[in-house]
Amino acid sequence: MTMPNYLPDLGPITAPQLPEHISFWENCAKRELRFQCCSECERWRHPPAPVCPHCGSAGATWKLAPPRAELFSYTVVHHAPTPALRGYVPYNIAIVAFTDLIDIRIVSNVLNILPQDLCIGMPLQLVWQDQGPGRVVPLFVREGAAA
Ligand SMILES: [Zn+2]
């Protein structure tokens, strides 16, 4: 099933990326949401970084995100920050937490929901949106809702 993009493609990422960021997006391209886990203190971290912010170790493995997520916080954008987004307001920007993983928050969007139906703590389900070559983005829907 092809899902229309939630927001328009604003073009390629032109800023330099850390190797850890490239690894994160390579995992997303495989539709695997993985976060770094420190090889020394075993704490998870996101966004990707070359060293652990807790113990300073450079060792890390990429572990699969837990299946249960929830809406930690959100905002609804009513005024488009760029002309390309004028036709998309209002849209939400969500901070998603994982029930079994207290160190991780990810910025994303909740699809197919009216702003007034968003509720902090609501269970969410991960979905993937293909936004062009090499860009597969982790997004969320209300648990049990079809993407
Ligand atoms: Zn560590």
Confidence of residue 147 (pLDDT cuts 50, 70, 90): low
Q: What is the pLDDT of residues 31-74, one digit of tens each?
A: 999 999 999 999 999 999 999 999 999 999 999 999 899 999 99
More confident residue, 134 or 71: 71
pTM: 0.89
Q: Are 110 and 125 in contact (CB under 8 A)?
A: no
74 and 140: one domain? yes
- Whether residues 138 and 87 fall in one domain: yes
Q: What percent of the chain has pLDDT over 70?
A: 93
Cα–Cα dist 72/82, whole Å:
26
Rounded (10°) CA dihedral 17, 31, 105, 110: 110
Q: Does residue 23 sit in the same domain as residue 75?
A: no
C-alpha 42 to ligand 1 mean position (Å): 6
Domain count, the chain: 2
Same domain, 41 and 76: no
Domain that holds residue 53: 16-64
- Residues lining ion ligand 1 (Cβ < 5 A) are 38, 40-41, 52, 54-55, 57
* Contact residues for 144 (Cβ-Cβ < 8 A; gap 6+): 125
* Distance of CA 35 from the midpoint of ligand 1 (Å): 13
